[in-house]
Structure 1
Amino acid sequence: MQRRTFILAAATAGLAAPLIARAKDWPSQPIKLVVGFPGGSTPDMVARTLSEPLSKALGVPVIVENKSGASGNIAAEYVAKATDGVTFGIVINGNLTSSQMLYPNLPYDPFKDFSYLSLLTTAPLILVAPASEPSGTAFFDLARKEGDKWNYGSVGIGSVSHLGMELLKADVPGLDPLQIPYNGGNPAVVTALIGGQVQMALMPPGTALPQVKAGKLKAIGVTSAQESDLAPGIPSLAKAGVKDFNLEVWTALVGPASLPAAVQKKVSDIVIAALKEPAIRQKLLVQGWQAVGTTPQEMRVRVEEEAKLLGGIIKSQHIRLQ
């Protein structure tokens, strides 16, 4: 896929000095780190892991605030419309890449209403199958043969487990399992896989690996371009014959678009430095994440590319949510 670099407009010389002065004085009150998922969720754990180094660097408390609902879109809207200068958000892929195409009345614009600060963490998914199925290229040979006689499980329409499988189907000629969405989330999909109601599914490592180690499921491959420390010993899908497939889940730090440029840089620099710390990287790894830490420009490129990729599959498959 061709990469395009999006260059952000630079502040004029006349505005730079006031913004820098404001960044030196900022913040004068506690920071709010808003998460669109409940306490104990993986995005929440990322927020709480970063709150300590942020607080230490900024000299004020960092308060994690959970605003659950609508797959994180309620919290994303709250951050986009914040005007207090101290509200930030931890978002996931869908809030910036697919929600605008899935929800016709999304109350924010993911490309215009946020300041992108840094991609924080990534994790691959694992393509899993019942333990009785073959591995590697033999699995895909059998899947092609079975066509739409096979099913795949997802945690819901528009979820990454749904969109990821549709992307995989587009990349593997002849692969055509039908989706069965489960309201019970990943545990329900695991039960369906073990019971043979579905023949494949994309799952996070934290859910898939215990079942694979117990011999109840078989791991076909990870969806990242290369093998992952989060799923040691499991090959990439490329080794199973699926070339150039790369899909990860991630978290990112955003602020409202109105956030002064110098404040954006200050926060971004702190977070990037924190994500290089071995102790923080290890803590995130235990939580099921690989620490990344990108510049705002690098994050924007990633979001633009992924939105284009997911948008293509959403449009071609006529996927919509209310």
Structure 2
Amino acid sequence: MNPTPSLARRSLLALALAGVCGGALAQDGASGATATPGWPSKTVRLVVGFPAGSSPDLTARLFAEPLSRALGQSVIVDNKVGAGGNIGAAQVARSHDDHTIGLFINGNLTIAKLLNPQVAYDPHKDLAPLSLIGVSPLVLTVPAHQTGVPADAAAFLQAARQAGDTWSYGTPGVGTVGHLGMELLKARAGINPLHIPYPGYPQVATAMLGDQLQMALLPPTLAQSQEDAGKLRRLGVTSSGRSALAPGVPSLAELGVKDFELEIWNAFAAPVSMPAAVRQRLSELTGEIARRPEVRAQLLQQGWQAVGSSAEGLAQRIARDTATMGRVIREQRISAQ
């Protein structure tokens, strides 16, 4: 017999070897064993543009320890506070040490440059998506006992149309998701309340309790706590369907508000200067950590529905939300000033 394999056998052998090698490479890529040789070589810095104890800070600290274990290096959270997270985002964008990443809210990656072209970074050119971590709707919330403000959803929307700009809504500031979301709601629901900015969501809720506002889009936990106290009433969530973060509350789409979907979210991103293999490893790690049952449970306690997307999934979300928010900004003529 001829000991040389036939062409067919050689082809089968090549395919088998390719499958084994491909599987090994896939495993190595997932673990980072060969994809990023020599990295990380020092402490990894996780920048957060908000103060200690804030929601982004708590999420970053939730990820720091499992990231450190997976990478075999320390991961420290570095709070660079200011400009709604944009100071921290700019620091990440300018970093060239290959050991700096950031945790951002969606405003930093979608709205910032649309509202203010002078922002010191371009989220689409200077930052590379890693993973979408958690999402949350906002909740259309109204006073439970304010004269002339119905607590029933249909009656409320009708009263709001009739009230025009004699009614007001509050937000944590111009250009926030709460602000742009309400401007989108105005366009979709045919209402026209006046915008009044406040330092934060707690102050917005307090203003509603004091009969200074008739409505706001609030985070689910704050809205529920105020409804449980009998002070405010939740009418609808801004997500496309109902949310586990606001049990029993219908979506605004269910209430007849068409073409309306809005969520707040947080995500990891890296400087575009970071090597692609390193970014890929971090994308896989942060996404996998977000999907762990114990982390999902902790994110839910923080007010987030865990996602843990791929880099591509986050890029698609950024593009979609940027287009939506850009349209609202143009149509409603919103500026940072």
- Give the letter for the 1:52 counterpart: E
* 1:20–1:262 CA contact under 8 A, matched in 2: no
1:282 aligns with 2:297: yes
TM-score w.r.t. structure 1 length? 0.90
Corresponding residue number in structure 1 for 2:315 = 300
Q: State which drifts further: 235-244 or 210-219.
A: 235-244
Q: Deviations over 1:241-267 (max 9, x none)?
A: 113321111111000001111111111
CA distance in 2, matches of 1:300, 1:22: 22
Corresponding residue number in structure 2 for 1:169 = 186
Q: Deviations over 1:284-308 (max 9, x none)?
A: 1111111111111111111111111
Corresponding residue number in structure 2 for 1:140 = 157
1:108 aligns with 2:124: no
CA distance in 2, matches of 1:202, 1:74: 26
* 1:136–1:241 CA contact under 8 A, matched in 2: no
Residue 66 of structure 1 deviates from its aligned partner by 0.3
Residue 170 of structure 1 deviates from its aligned partner by 1.1
What aligned pairs does 1:185-196 form with structure 2 within 5 A after superposition? 185-196=200-211
- Give the letter for the 1:170 counterpart: A
CA distance in 1, matches of 2:335, 2:164: 24
CA distance in 1, matches of 2:177, 2:67: 30
Residue 148 of structure 1 deviates from its aligned partner by 1.7
1:124 aligns with 2:141: no
Residue 187 of structure 1 deviates from its aligned partner by 2.1
What aligned pairs does 1:24-173 form with structure 2 within 5 A after superposition? 24-132=37-145, 133-173=150-190
Q: Deviations over 1:157-186 (max 9, x none)?
A: 11111111001011112x111111123x22
- Give the letter for the 1:256 counterpart: P
* 1:136–1:239 CA contact under 8 A, matched in 2: no
- Give the letter for the 2:45 counterpart: K
CA distance in 2, matches of 1:135, 1:86: 52
Residue 22 of structure 1 deviates from its aligned partner by 6.3
CA distance in 1, matches of 2:111, 2:282: 26
Task: Indicate which of 220, 223, 234 corresponds to 1:205.
Answer: 220
What aligned pairs does 1:1-20 form with structure 2 within 5 A after superposition? none
5+ residue gaps, structure 1, are: 1-16
CA distance in 2, matches of 1:119, 1:312: 23
TM-score w.r.t. structure 2 length? 0.87
What aligned pairs does 1:250-265 form with structure 2 within 5 A after superposition? 250-265=265-280
* 2:35–2:281 CA contact under 8 A, matched in 1: no
Residue 273 of structure 1 deviates from its aligned partner by 1.2
- Give the letter for the 1:181 counterpart: P
CA distance in 1, matches of 2:82, 2:326: 22
- Runs of 4+ aligned residues of structure 1 deviating over 2 Å after TM superposition are 19-22
From the CA coordinates, give the structure whose radius of gyration is larger.
Answer: 2
CA distance in 2, matches of 1:155, 1:106: 19
* 1:79–1:256 CA contact under 8 A, matched in 2: yes
Corresponding residue number in structure 2 for 1:317 = 332
Paired positions, count: 303
Q: State which drifts further: 254-263 or 226-235.
A: 226-235
* 2:134–2:265 CA contact under 8 A, matched in 1: yes
CA distance in 1, matches of 2:126, 2:214: 40
CA distance in 2, matches of 1:264, 1:20: 14
CA distance in 2, matches of 1:308, 1:180: 25
5+ residue gaps, structure 2, are: 1-28
- Give the letter for the 2:161 counterpart: R
1:182 aligns with 2:198: yes
CA distance in 1, matches of 2:73, 2:283: 16
Q: Deviations over 1:204-227 (max 9, x none)?
A: 112211101111001011111111
Corresponding residue number in structure 2 for 1:245 = 260
Residue 190 of structure 1 deviates from its aligned partner by 1.2
CA distance in 1, matches of 2:336, 2:74: 38
What is the root-mean-square deviation in Å for CA atoms of aligned residues? 1.6
* 1:128–1:208 CA contact under 8 A, matched in 2: yes
